[in-house]
Amino acid sequence: MFIPLKNKEFLLVHKWGDDLGWFKKLLALPLKSLESMIATVGITAFLIAAFTPTWLILNGAEVDMGYFGYHRIAWFLYSFIMLCSLSTFMCFSQSIYPSEYQWDKKTYN
C-alpha cells in the first residue's frame, strides 16, 4: 500500500493500523454472531424493563400492582421486540450481517 507524497513520490506502508483495542472489541461484540446479538438485545431489554418506573409503565392506571408483576414482563417483551426490530433495521440498512466468518476475517471493512 502506498501513500502519495509531494512531487509524484510515494511512501510504502507495509503495516496499516493495528487490531482493535479492548473497548472497540467490546462495542463490536454484539456483531460477532447472531446469538451474541440476540443475547445483547435480551440483556438490554431486561435492563430497560428493570429500571423503568412502574408509574411510567402503567401510565394513569388506578391499580397498584407493585414493582413486580405481569406489567413488567409485558414491558420486557415490548422492549425486546422493539430492540430486535431496531437492530434488524440497522443491520440491513448498513449491510452489517453478524457472523463468525466476518468477525474472523482480517480484511473485512
pLDDT digits (tens, 9 = 90+) for 28-56: 888 888 889 999 999 999 999 999 988 88
Is residue 42 in a domain?
yes
Is residue 13 in a domain?
no
Q: Is residue 62's pLDDT more than 60? A: yes
The residues, any chain, with a CB within 8 Å of residue 14's CB and separated by 6 or more, are 1
Q: Is residue 109's pLDDT more than 60? A: no
Number of structural domains (the chain) is 1
Q: Is residue 107's pLDDT more than 70? A: no
* Contact indicator for 72, 57 with CB cutoff of 8 Å: yes
- Domain limits at 87? 20-104
Question: What is the residue-wise DSSP string for 54-80?
Answer: HHHHSTT------SSSHHHHHHHHHHH
pLDDT at 74: 92
pLDDT at 54: 83
Give the torsion through C-alpha atoms of 63, 67, 70, 72, to 10 deg.
Answer: 120
Is residue 6 in a domain?
no
pLDDT at 101: 77
Is residue 1 in a domain?
no
Is residue 52 in a domain?
yes
Is residue 90 in a domain?
yes
Residue given cell 446469538 in the structure block: 35
